Structure 1
Amino acid sequence: MKLSRNAAGGTLSRSRKVLVIAAASTAALLALTGCAGSGSSGGSASKHISIAFVPKQLNNPYTDVELGGGKDAAKATGDTYSVVGPNTASASSQVSYINTLTQKHTNVIAIAANDPNAVCSALNQAKAGGAKIITFDSDTDKNCRSLFINQVNAKDVALIELKQMAEQINNEGEIAILSATANATNQNSWIQYMKQELASNPTYSKIKLVTTVYGNDDDTTSFQVAQGLLQSYPNLKGIISPTTVGIAATARYLSTSSYKGKVILTGLGLPNQMRQYVKDGTVKEFALWDPAKIGQATVYAAKALVAGTITGKSGDTFKAGSLGTLKVGADNTVIVGGPTAFDSSNIDKYNF
């Protein structure tokens, strides 16, 4: 019987040891799980997110470069990247895509708005469902989003385009603007600054802006509008086209017309699209920035918003890969960089 009690006691002792070890292991596991959970709920920067880009329209060469930058950044961060959007750039054409993304519980919707207000109701519903909203390239009303990723300071864009035009027409003569859509916030902002500068700068007192027309960011429409513009204004000395689609279409028309070398063209263009027109003398110079950086900045801003390391207020900063640290400025806007002038001396250095 003594032997039996000792055996029983030994068995009980071993059982207690197993229970103690199991309890300790469970406690450790719970502690680790608790740490991981608190990091996730607090917005861990390493948390993978889903980000969907909604451009003004699909199959736009400029937009393709922007989206390529976003895709590369999402690949580097391990996040889920997608693109949805309309084939034509109309005011309300993006709404149905926003609604679908809301239903899918996409973490971040990044949109280049065709109209500053037409998409706001859909975006506010997405926000109510938990999505973060970022605008890029073309803004909405600031109450509809958390952050705007802007390529450059709007006034700087206006001034470089106007300066390039003025120098080539010797600060005198009739000019016109061929823009994208009538409701595009980025183009309208640049045009407004150009008008202000024309009205206030004595250097430009002999330059007359005769009209602003729209090609709807469509190649064929822009080509036809440029043709009609020159027929309607026979004394036109120059055209400013602050849209990559518009400037390329206008250059194509000018290059084979009697206006080549007589009507000055400048604006915002992609080096790869404009190279042939610079080399054949149709265009002397134009401007732009690297659109891929906009897509890249948008992805890193999205991660920071979801992580909670920024809220979009002025003074917030976030790391954006090779772009370094970017800062949120006034009106919850991030400026990625400044404009670059392209001409025959440097255009072959760029490939986008």
Structure 2
Amino acid sequence: MRNLARVFVLVMLVLLVLSATVLAQDKFEIVMVAKHEGISWFDDMRTGVEEFGKDHEDVTSYQIAPEGGDPAKQVQMVEDLIAKGVDAILVVPNDPKSMIPVIKKAKDAGIIVISHEAEELKGIVDYDMEAFRNEDFGVLMFESLGREMNYEGEYVGMVGALTMQTHMQWFQAGHDYAAEKYPNMKFILQEPVEDFNTEQTAYNKARELLRTYPNIKGMFGCSASSTIMQAQAVEERGLQEQVAVVGLTLPSMSKTYLESGSLRQAQCWRPADAGYVCAMIAYKVLKGEPLETGISLGKEGYESVTVEDGIIYGNAPLVLTKENVNDFPF
């Protein structure tokens, strides 16, 4: 009888191990490939991606990103995920064009691909997700810039890179809006300055711009790094009254500068929510659930999205001022 009991226990242990293995294999593996490792924006996005996995027992979700925001390294990360055989890849590309061949390879391997900040990839990915219509976000940025400049004078500004589609959409829409509506505002560069999402680069270039163009009245930032470093450079030179800085950044990064006046107004969307929503889209595709205009994707600003020509639009812009910056926990 003792031998039978031992055999029974061993059989049960084997069955438990096999059951756990099957359950692990049944989990969807959803991976976000973000732009840049080690910066606040994508640290916050990681929390949303991981939260999605905690909320869904049949999902393992996590985030990776290249050091330095290198597009080639980002492509290699996607290649590695294809080789691993993950179920879905979420990507915020540094250079959407350079990502096209590897995305097609992932799709050919049966992997769901969802992009963010990359409308250019519609029709190539399963869906692109935008927190809002990018043209509207750019107009919002340049309207605040115009107001703070009293709608006249010279201005300059930065993007993460000229290859970053959303940054260039914001700039172009905002620039065109200002040129038409406020003709006394003058953008005095040939194109925006690139900061490569790196604070030291943004800081050095902001100081150089202030030295080179002493008459500027405004600066805009399309990356969180550029906005904050422009504000810091302005503050260090005591130019808060003369030079208006506006742009993209996070509440936690902008609080000090908004309160000092070196940053007049900021705007953003919650990176964690964007990561969560991208994972939700991939999950619904994997489950064969429909994605239609009006559907809720589980986060504020995405309660009734618009699905249009392969792009899913939320309505989740946030405007940050010294009066409200403490209301946001990220």
Q: What TM-score comes out, normalization by structure 1 length?
A: 0.81
Instruction: Choose which of 301, 311, 318 in structure 2 pairs with 1:333.
Output: 311
Cα shift at 1:317: 6.0
Cα shift at 1:325: 4.7
What's 2:298 paired with? 321
Note closer, same or farther for the CA distance 1:92–1:326 as it changes in structure 2 (3 Å cut): farther
What is the aligned-residue RMSD (CA, Å)? 1.8
Matched, 1:77 2:56: yes
Larger Rg: 1
What's 2:197 paired with? 217
Note closer, same or farther for the CA distance 1:194–1:325 as it changes in structure 2 (3 Å cut): closer
Cα shift at 1:82: 2.2
Listed as ranges, the gaps of 5+ residues in structure 1 are: 1-46
CA contact (8 A) 1:134 1:146 kept: yes
Give the letter aligned to residue 47 of structure 2: G
CA contact (8 A) 1:120 1:140 kept: no
What's 1:305 paired with? 285
Matched, 1:118 2:98: yes
CA distance in 1, matches of 2:321, 2:137: 16
Give the letter aligned to residue 60 of structure 1: I
Q: Deviations over 1:32-51 (max 9, x none)?
A: xxxxxxxxxxxxxxx73110
Q: Deviations over 1:158-211 (max 9, x none)?
A: 11111111111110000112111110011011111012212322xx11000112
Note closer, same or farther for the CA distance 1:183–1:112 as it changes in structure 2 (3 Å cut): same
Give the letter aligned to residue 244 of structure 2: I
CA distance in 2, matches of 1:245, 1:308: 39
What's 2:220 paired with? 240
Q: Deviations over 1:265-294 (max 9, x none)?
A: 000111111101111221222111222211
Matched, 1:185 2:165: yes
What's 1:295 paired with? 275
Cα shift at 1:328: 4.6
What's 1:263 paired with? 243
Matched, 1:54 2:33: yes
Cα shift at 1:318: 4.8
CA distance in 2, matches of 1:86, 1:265: 29
1:94 is paired with a residue whose SS is: helix
CA contact (8 A) 2:294 2:304 kept: yes
What's 1:205 paired with? 183
Give the letter aligned to residue 186 of structure 2: K
CA distance in 1, matches of 2:211, 2:202: 14
Cα shift at 1:91: 3.3
Give the letter aligned to residue 263 of structure 1: V
CA distance in 1, matches of 2:44, 2:136: 21
Q: Which stretches of structure 1, 4 residues or more, deviate above 4 A after TM superposition? A: 316-319, 322-326
Cα shift at 1:115: 1.0
CA contact (8 A) 1:304 1:318 kept: no
What's 2:323 paired with? 345
Matched, 1:99 2:79: yes
